[in-house]
Amino acid sequence: MALADLTPAERHRQIAAVFTDRVRAAKDWDAPAPVAGWTARDVVRHLVGWLPGFLSSGANVGLPSGPSVDDNPVAAWQTQRDAVQALLDDPSTAHRTLADRHIGEVPVDQAIDRFYTSDVFMHTWDLARATGQDDRLDADFCAKLLTDLEPMDEVLRSSGQFGPRVPTPDDADVRTRFVAFIGRDPFWTPS
């Protein structure tokens, strides 16, 4: 089944599994990442860092904290992945609401799906590229996200969430166009 056709819990399980594989296989946590000024460790730090506050302030949902990303990025990621999966697997989560001044009121599972799981998907490329691993992303899901995000181009750029769109060749595939849309140079390699 295509990623776009899955429930929020199923989609997180699959996307987080791919990211987890990249986390477990990373050897150099200080390797530069495609995001300017970030290392491989910072990719994990970003994902582990922003979601707990988003859920706590918007839905009064607390995630357990794990080890520091500085001390153990693998365990820090796995703790959060497991907590998010347990939250999404809980049938009552779909009936909880997250309130945010930017997005209004959204069911918690949909908020996690739209903002966090998609972020994990995007940052899988960053971590893979930084650590020399398989950086291929699901092409159909890249196309869906690109279709969903392109109408919000100006808002996303002005918010600082994405860097400037990177030009791509006219014949670029959807993965390349997606990576470029989110502000990454699709041809970036560690120096």
Q: pLDDT averaged over consecutive 10-residue blocks of the chain (191 residues)?
A: 95 98 98 96 97 95 95 98 98 92 92 96 98 97 95 84 90 97 94 77
Predicted confidence at residue 103, as pLDDT, reads 86
What pLDDT score does 55 carry? 96
CB 113 within 8 A of CB 6: no
0.85 cut: is pTM over it?
yes
Which amino acid makes up residue 112?
Answer: I
Q: Please say whether the dihedral angle defined by the alpha carbons of residues 39, 40, 41 and 43, taken in this order, is positive or negative.
A: positive
Q: How many residues does the chain have?
A: 191
- The residue extents of the domains of the chain are 7-32+39-136, 137-185
Q: What integer pLDDT is reported at residue 48 of this predicted model?
A: 97
